[in-house]
């Protein structure tokens, strides 16, 4: 294999397109709604192999920086407004603001209302960087941001663990690691953009044209922040996962439509990371009474740890790794029985209400029959044991 033309259902990080000297790699949505590389002019390929050298998908292990004993913290912004507007404790915003003030550019993610997608972009000011506040639980289009990397500037880059792993390989290859600070997060996986498109089609008639989208709104508190807030020209729509059964979160957190690589090829759970810093929500018992939001933070490198201790507007409390990672996914998600049904129907004219309804029926039916089977098996074993 001399280029990425044979790679399908990968992470879709886009770093192969960034490094390609011929600029013949596009990143497009595949038939299942996930970004993957496509060669737009194969005849121009020189078979240099650079695209493969930065690909995190084809390697069995995550890339790593120098050996370092991971340090773990609870952290949150001292600015109550920043903390409220952020999905958890505001660490990402405070970190980006601090680095921009130190002369870094920030390659981060915003939601593009016109294109109905999340995308990486380059922020040079704190005002521009503010567009990245809050989680976006959909796959990001990276090329517009990643194509602005160069050898002279300093960059703060955030992304999914697989995106950051490829970026680490890229900057190692170009020998510019010293110019970069990389941050990833505890990742559940990315859902199909086909699902997101059907979801927004469902909400649009209620709200009118979208003017703002927030995936984790804290109006009911941090621990109950799994709700969508979609502001439109006509009204604001709140869709709570717990109380209203929001369909986006049902499909996403139910693992009904994640990328194939999320099930089969993710190697980034818990402390496995190519970043300098990893963040997430500090779920679990330690901060269960907290209503404002607390970040789980792992310093993966000495550089990352030093920066965290340099930010005066962050509270940083050391805890064992077990405390900081409590509540995070320890293993890759598994396909529910409805997965292949959902995958098929996302590509046809079915609406998301119908898809979610039948996927729920399929999964409940399977769980019911499995429960009956387990009870019968247990009873048979008890009878056999008594006879012995």
pLDDT tens string 244-284 = 678 999 999 999 999 999 999 999 999 999 999 999 999 99
Measured from the Cβ of residue 388, the count of other Cβ atoms closer than 10 Å reads 5
The residue ranges of DSSP E strands in the chain, in sequence order, are 25-29, 35-39, 71-77, 105-112, 117-123, 140-141, 155-158, 180-185, 210-214, 227-232, 236-240, 277-281, 295-299, 314-318
Q: Determine the pLDDT at residue 376.
A: 47
- Round to whole Å and give the CA distance between 76 and 131: 19
> With a threshold of 0.85, does the pTM exceed it?
yes
Residue 68's pLDDT is what? 86
Q: Is 319 helix (H, G, I), strand (E, B) or coil?
A: coil
Regions of the chain where pLDDT drops below 50: 373, 376-377, 380-381, 383-384, 387-388
pLDDT value, residue 352: 93
Measured CA to CA, the distance from residue 196 to residue 230 in angstroms comes to 13
What is the pLDDT at residue 305? 97
Strands of the sheet with 277-281, listed across from one edge? 140-141, 117-123, 105-112, 155-158, 180-185, 277-281, 295-299, 71-77, 314-318
- Would you say 119 and 163 are in contact if contact means Cβ atoms under 8 Å apart? no
Helix%, strand%, coil% for the chain, nearest 5: 35, 20, 45
Distance between CA atoms of 199 and 116, rounded to whole angstroms?
A: 11
C-beta neighbour count of 240 within 10 angstroms: 18
Q: What is the pLDDT of residue 377?
A: 45
Residue 150, Cβ density class (10 Å: 0-12 exposed, 13-18 middle, ≥19 buried): exposed
Tokens 């269960």 belong to residue: 288
The CB-based long-range contact list for 114-121 (8 Å cut-off, 24+ gap) reads 116/196, 116/197, 116/200, 116/210, 117/141, 117/193, 119/144, 119/145, 120/144, 120/145, 120/146, 120/159, 121/145
Radius of gyration from C-alpha coordinates of the chain: 22
Decide the pairing of beta strands 295-299 and 71-77: antiparallel
pLDDT of residue 91: 98
φ and ψ at 50, to 5 degrees?
-65, -40
* 53-74 residue pLDDT tens: 999 999 988 887 667 899 999 9
pLDDT at 151: 95
Comparing CA positions, the residue from 77, 73, 69, 22 lying closest to residue 45 is 22
């Amino acid at each position: 294999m001399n280029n990425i033309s044979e790679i399908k259902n990968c992470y879709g990080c886009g770093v192969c397109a960034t490094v390609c000297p011929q600029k013949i790699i596009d990143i497009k949505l595949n038939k299942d709604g996930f970004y993957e590389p496509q060669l737009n002019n194969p005849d121009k390929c020189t078979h240099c192999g650079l695209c493969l050298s930065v690909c995190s998908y084809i390697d069995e292990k995550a890339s790593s920086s120098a050996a370092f004993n991971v340090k773990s913290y609870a952290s949150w912004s001292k600015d109550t407004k920043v903390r409220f507007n952020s999905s958890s404790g505001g660490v990402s915003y405070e970190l980006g603001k601090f680095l921009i003030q130190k002369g870094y550019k920030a390659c981060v993610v915003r939601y593009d209302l016109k294109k109905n997608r999340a995308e990486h972009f380059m922020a040079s000011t704190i005002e521009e960087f503010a567009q990245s506040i809050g989680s976006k639980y959909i796959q990001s289009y990276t090329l517009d941001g990643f194509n602005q990397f160069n050898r002279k500037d300093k960059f703060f880059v955030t992304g999914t663990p697989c995106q950051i792993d490829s970026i680490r390989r890229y900057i190692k290859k170009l020998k510019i690691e010293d110019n970069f600070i990389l941050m990833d997060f505890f990742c559940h996986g990315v859902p199909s953009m086909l699902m997101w498109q059907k979801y927004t089609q469902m909400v649009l008639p209620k709200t009118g044209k979208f003017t703002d989208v927030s995936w984790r709104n804290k109006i009911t508190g941090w621990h109950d922040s799994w709700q969508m807030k979609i502001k439109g020209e006509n009204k604001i729509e709140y869709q709570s996962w717990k109380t209203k059964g929001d369909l986006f979160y049902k499909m996403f957190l139910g693992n009904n439509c994640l990328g194939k690589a999320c099930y089969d090829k993710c190697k980034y759970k818990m402390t496995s990371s190519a970043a300098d810093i990893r963040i997430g929500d500090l779920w679990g018992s330690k901060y269960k009474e907290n209503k404002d939001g607390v970040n789980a933070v792992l310093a993966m490198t000495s550089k990352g740890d030093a920066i965290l201790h340099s930010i005066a507007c962050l509270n940083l409390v050391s805890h064992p790794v077990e405390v900081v990672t409590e509540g995070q996914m320890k293993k890759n998600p598994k396909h529910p029985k409805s997965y292949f049904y959902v995958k098929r129907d996302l590509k046809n004219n079915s609406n998301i209400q119908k898809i979610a309804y039948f996927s729920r029926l399929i999964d409940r039916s399977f769980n019911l029959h499995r429960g009956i089977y387990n009870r019968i098996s247990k009873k048979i074993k008890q009878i056999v044991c008594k006879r012995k």
